[in-house]
Amino acid sequence: MRKATVERKTKETEITATVNLDGTGRYDVSTGIGFLDHMLEQLARHSLIDLEVKATGDLGIDFHHTTEDTGIVIGQAVKQALGEAKGIKRFGSALIPMNETLTRVALDAVDRPYLIWRVIFTQPKLGEMDTELFKEWFQAFSQHAGLTLHVQNLYGENSHHIVESCFKGLARALREAVEIDPRSADAVPSTKGVLGGSL
């Protein structure tokens, strides 16, 4: 099983995350932020990655630290679970419709972190959560998981649909990228023999 657990404790947050890349999409998520919990549950369900997250943070100030640090810890767990990344398909992409919304996500699990975020929300908040925080989550996740990640909302009106399609797109692309390719199960998917570093 490609599984990892990461703990992070700061003066602002205390977070533990466990991922199993070879799971069935089971989840047990509690961050104290209801909408973020819902998105992380979507991530687990549609990636088939088992995900456990327990987070406490300084929500009395705002949701920024808990959102960002949750992305950091889940990303670190994914990277640890990938190990040397032998046999993975490496690339993944998804085109996700959700009612009036369409979002495209593409990623390369290459250990060269980079985020392109082309998402504009129609509302500043979803419930009590600032929509600008979703970019912070994706940035933290991509950096610490080692992903080159492109997220583009092609069109949409409802901010809930827009962000949910982003998380579902990430889930489907990640599912594809971390799957083991039976034709190359023992090889690192790079002509260099390792992932990361220069192109």
- d(CA 156, CA 154) in angstroms, rounded, equals 7
Write down the residue that tokens 């495209």 correspond to: 104
Report pLDDT for 185.
66
pLDDT bucket at 20, cuts 50 / 70 / 90 = very high
Report pLDDT for 199.
43
- d(CA 81, CA 47) in angstroms, rounded, equals 14
Cβ(45)–Cβ(38) below 8 Å: no
pLDDT bucket at 99, cuts 50 / 70 / 90 = very high
Report pLDDT for 12.
95
pLDDT bucket at 198, cuts 50 / 70 / 90 = very low
Mean local confidence (pLDDT), 35-43: 97
Cβ(139)–Cβ(115) below 8 Å: yes
Span 21-30, pLDDT tens digits: 999 999 999 9
Crossing angle between the packed helical segments 64-82 and 159-178, to the nearest 10 degrees: 20
Mean local confidence (pLDDT), 117-131: 95
pLDDT at 186 over 80: no
Alpha helices in the chain, H assignment, sequence order: 34-47, 64-82, 133-145, 159-178
At the topology level, CATH places domain 3-178 in Ribosomal Protein S5; domain 2 (3.30.230)
Report pLDDT for 106.
98
**Whole-number percent of the chain with pLDDT over 90:** 85
